[in-house]
Structure 1
Amino acid sequence: MKPQTSTRTLEALIHVISWGIVFGFPFLFMGREGNNINWNSYIYHAVVPLSLLILFYANYFFLIPQLLFKEKIREYIIYNLLILITFGMGIQIWQELNIPPEIDLSKHSRPPKWIFTVRNAISLIFIIGLSMAIRMSSRWRQAEVARREAEKNRTEAELKNLRNQLNPHFLLNTLNNIYALIAFDSDKAQQAVQELSKLLRHVLYENQQAFVPLSKEADFIINYIELMRIRLTDNVTVDTQIKIHPNSKTLISPLIFISLIENAFKHGIAPTEPSFIRILLWEESGKICCEITNSYHPKNGKDKSGSGIGLKQVQKRLDLLYPKRYTWKKNISEDGRKYVSQLYLTPLTT
């Protein structure tokens, strides 16, 4: 059964039970003839519950959605005032003309008529307010469900757009690296193309899923780092410690760490100066930790190896997927020679 159908069934059941109780009250006031029910007496006392039912659903199905929800407040008040007067007078006249025989007015002193009039008016006003409260709470709930659905769709669309941007961004950076290899080592360039084909399978297929196992993402990161090593010279030291269990079922958003690693290779390597990159990735105490430290060699404005959108995408994806579930610290050392990125996040599902 769909949630919406289940909710409507429950609401209908509540209405039936509630009105069953209301229409059961007259049995407390009517007289009895042995074990038989005096239906004339029941009808006399049931006229008030019947009036309440009619007024409730007149508001619930017509007046509130057709007038109040359309901001026709004046018309809504006028219609209810007319109904109140009509029903109030009708109940009073009915009860005066149809007093059951068992009620002997000569032996019982009845309260003044105005007390019954006020009682009936209060009951009718209360049922109008109750109908309004239930209808408006239902409308608010539906609006909230619609808002959440719209927010979910917007988030999914934004994430899909970010993933679609990330694929060409990743491919562009990798091709730039291969292009640099072609100039001085064609054999390594061919090897890089082969490694790239392996990575593209992950990028093109795994990246289309909302979450992938952390073990698969760790394998992708290892393969990517090996691809980047091909073009490195002897003056660059790359230290990696990937401590993720091969069978880890922890789910992670795909390519969430790759832009951080790309950034390290882009800004952490200089053609002539000694450089280093240290990449640590591990899982502990329900958290996934990624720490990247690299020598800092910022590119000049003429360098086109990457458009600089990678880290912005990471920030947006973290905000959308892991709100209040991550910590990301980025800083440059005081001497300006080292860059540190520390990302700790709590996975949504483990």
Structure 2
Amino acid sequence: MRNNRISLYIDLLFCLVIIPLVIMLLPVDRWITTNTAFLFTLVAYVYILYFVYRKVCLPKLFMRKKYFSIAFILTILIAVTELLTYFPIPAERITDDVRQMAARMSLRTQTIWFFFLVVTGFSLAIELTFELFRQILSRQEIEAEKNKAELALYKAQINPHFLFNTLNTLYALVLSGSDKTESAFVKFSDILRYMYSQSGSELIPAERELEYIRQYVDLQKLRLNSHTKVDLNIEITNRQVLIPPMILITFVENAFKYGTSSDTDCIIHIFISLNEERLLMKTENDIMRRCEEGECGIGIENCRKRLDLLYPGRYTLQTGEVNGRYNTFLTIQLR
């Protein structure tokens, strides 16, 4: 729609401004009285030539390698232009002065070819610009669809990972006959409801995502004993700031997956700070178990790929072990 509007504006600019200005360079006052038919024929030829170029779009034909069609069209247009140079001179303008007649014919020929070159150059420049613009838009659309498909894949990979861990938690509570089992199932149903409600959303209010984090932490606390302490600290200045769903949960999951113990004292620190311009997340946990070969870093790598697509060049993600504790540090420039 926008391209059609721009094209219309360019056509109006050429037809109502540029061509009339160029025509004014001609001896219009003299030609309109002495050579009226030729003047109107020339003006009609210029406009027809312009719209023929706009219709056939030579750059598009060139991109499609239709060289024969291009050669055929240019041959026809050049032939018509050449025929126009033989437009008859009015009888009353014919004189015996050969030099004067040659000068008139030369001026007419130069004028015709001048308009041909002006219209051809302007039309080709405009069509080439539009074709390049269309090519860029097409590539951007393809890249956007590719990114969208990749994001959907990464989100699909995150959700089963979460479900597997949570079902393990519920299974452990059921086996132990804990009185926290009912509460755990209620929280689990709330979490599932959230996951399905935001599955098609690219951005959601931060309040919903952070509440999801709180519910997840509470659910994990139900299966933990006094040996594991969890410190969750969330600072948020604007609850309606939009952030991607499920972008933080992997780091929280990993902290509980590798940083909890039922017989050794350990602690998990989770800090999240959010304002309108920046999201900051830090996690720190004791390393109570090591990941098995083949499973290390899959969730974090998926998150990194999502961040590359969503915030290219606008995020920092650092992970690693320091003095027996695992740390993650994530910052995202939202604006």
TM above 0.5, yes or no, is: yes
Q: Which sits farther off after the overlay, 141-150 or 227-236?
A: 141-150
Is 1:139 aligned to residue 131 of structure 2? yes
Cα distance in 1, alignment partners of residues 219 and 305 from structure 2: 27
Query: How does the TM-score come out when normalised to structure 1?
Result: 0.81
Structure 2 counterpart of 1:347: 334
Summarize the alignment of residues 185-334 of structure 1 with structure 2, pairs less than 5 Å apart. 185-245=177-237, 248-284=239-275, 286-301=277-292, 309-333=298-322
Asked if structure 2 preserves the Cα contact closer than 8 Å seen for 1:30 and 1:42, the reply is no
Asked if structure 2 preserves the Cα contact closer than 8 Å seen for 1:328 and 1:343, the reply is yes
Unaligned runs of 5+ in 2: none
How far residue 61 of structure 1 moved from its aligned partner, in angstroms, is 2.0
Asked if structure 1 preserves the Cα contact closer than 8 Å seen for 2:173 and 2:223, the reply is yes
**How many matched pairs?**
335
Aligned-residue identity in percent: 24
Asked if structure 2 preserves the Cα contact closer than 8 Å seen for 1:241 and 1:279, the reply is yes
Cα distance in 1, alignment partners of residues 11 and 73 from structure 2: 26
Of 59, 65, 69, the residue aligned with 1:71 is 65
Closer, same or farther in 2 for the Cα pair 1:293/1:99, shift >3 Å? farther
Cα distance in 2, alignment partners of residues 3 and 200 from structure 1: 42
Structure 2 counterpart of 1:29: 28
Cα distance in 1, alignment partners of residues 24 and 67 from structure 2: 34
The alignment partner of 2:198 has SS state of helix
Summarize the alignment of residues 118-133 of structure 1 with structure 2, pairs less than 5 Å apart. 118=110, 120-133=112-125
The alignment partner of 1:234 has SS state of coil
Closer, same or farther in 2 for the Cα pair 1:19/1:122, shift >3 Å? closer
State the one-letter code of the partner of 2:327: V
How far residue 78 of structure 1 moved from its aligned partner, in angstroms, is 5.7
The alignment partner of 2:24 has SS state of helix
Cα distance in 1, alignment partners of residues 21 and 297 from structure 2: 69
Is 1:57 aligned to residue 46 of structure 2? no
Q: Deviations over 1:211-251 (max 9, x none)?
A: 11112211111111111111112221211111124x62100
Structure 1 counterpart of 2:84: 91
Q: Which sits farther off after the overlay, 98-107 or 280-289?
A: 98-107
Structure 2 counterpart of 1:35: none
